[in-house]
Amino acid sequence: AQKITQTQPGMFVQEKEAVTLDCTYDTSDPSYGLFWYKQPSSGEMIFLIYQGSYDQQNATEGRYSLNFQKARKSANLVISASQLGDSAMYFCAMRERYTGNQFYFGTGTSLTVIP
Amino acid sequence: KAGVTQTPRYLIKTRGQQVTLSCSPISGHRSVSWYQQTPGQGLQFLFEYFSETQRNKGNFPGRFSGRQFSNSRSEMNVSTLELGDSALYLCASSDTISTDTQYFGPGTRLTVL
């Protein structure tokens, strides 16, 4: 089974609108971390936001927030007030504390912001 | 703190040659991971080193190897290069091998002719 599933290969959003990028994960480890990364066309992976499995509140970092629904094993990224510079690939990732410790990445979602 | 650095940034090799890529982690980070990214296969995990020991390994042939030095710097070696090894190779570092965030370098773009 896939550890991280991103079902949206491509998304479009109007500038200044909000957009949600979906991510579901699969783990039986009680402790894990969830991450979102942005990869512009330059290739560098930029860390955006982190959510720990025991965190009670959803993580927020500026215009980024993570909608964490533990029971549904869902960790969607919400980008508010989209900007042209947000056009990039977005990857969801997970790391388990006790099971293997490997970082697992999803296949990514390509976001295009339309002026 | 300086970020993760990778050298070289671009590399062109021919089939059959070997290549060594270098990664310097963020100061104080002891874990270094390597990934291969291609348009067809996406982002694939190669291996992870922590305190000079390989802790995790992905599903790659033995032509791909790595090591980590006492200063946490890491090198990745690919021997007998094949056309399919053309990819962006990303290095990432983290403080530990727990659930800490991994921070990525700019990558090395390898082209095999």
Q: Which residue of B42, B99, B101 is in closest CB contact with A108?
A: B42
Which stretches in chain B have pLDDT values below 50? none
pLDDT (mean) for A78-107:
92
Q: Which residues of B touch A97 (CB under 8 A)?
A: 98-99
Indicate yes or no: CB of A105 within 8 angstroms of CB of B43: yes
pLDDT for res A32: 93
A55 CB burial (10 A radius; 0-12, 13-18, 19+): middle
Taking Cα atoms as reference points, which of B63, B58, B79, B66 lies closest to residue B23? B66
Rounded to whole angstroms, how far apart are CA atoms B53 and B66?
10
Q: Which residues of A touch B107 (CB under 8 A)?
A: 43-44
A98 pLDDT more than 90: no
Indicate yes or no: CB of B101 within 8 angstroms of CB of A45: no
Those residues with Cβ within 8 angstroms of residue A15's Cβ, 6 or more apart along the chain or in another chain: A82, A83, A84, A113, A114, A115
Residues facing residue A91 across a β-bridge? A37
* Helices vs. strands in chain B: H and E counts, helices first: 0, 11
Indicate yes or no: CB of A42 within 8 angstroms of CB of B33: no
CA A110 to chain centre: 12
pLDDT for res B99: 72
pLDDT for res B100: 83
Tell me the count of A-B CB pairs closer than 8 A.
61
pLDDT for res B79: 95
User: Are A75 and A92 in contact, with CB atoms under 8 Å apart?
Assistant: yes
Chain B: residue whose CA lies nearest to A44: B106
Indicate yes or no: CB of A102 within 8 angstroms of CB of B56: yes
In this structure, of A26-30, A95-99, B59-63, the range with the lowest mean pLDDT score is A95-99
In this structure, what DSSP letter does residue A63 have? T
Taking Cα atoms as reference points, which of A68, A50, A49 lies closest to residue A58? A68
- Strands B42-50, B53-57: pairing is antiparallel
Rounded to whole angstroms, how far apart are CA atoms A31 and B12?
42
pLDDT (mean) for A65-81:
97
pLDDT for res B110: 98
pLDDT (mean) for A60-86:
97
As given in the structure block, the two tokens for residue A57 are: 């509140």
A36 pLDDT more than 80: yes
pLDDT for res A72: 96
DSSP string, B11-45: EEE-TT--EEEEEEPPTT--EEEEEEEETTTEEEE
**pLDDT confidence of A54, banded at 50, 70, 90?**
very high
pLDDT (mean) for A91-98:
92
pLDDT (mean) for A66-84:
97
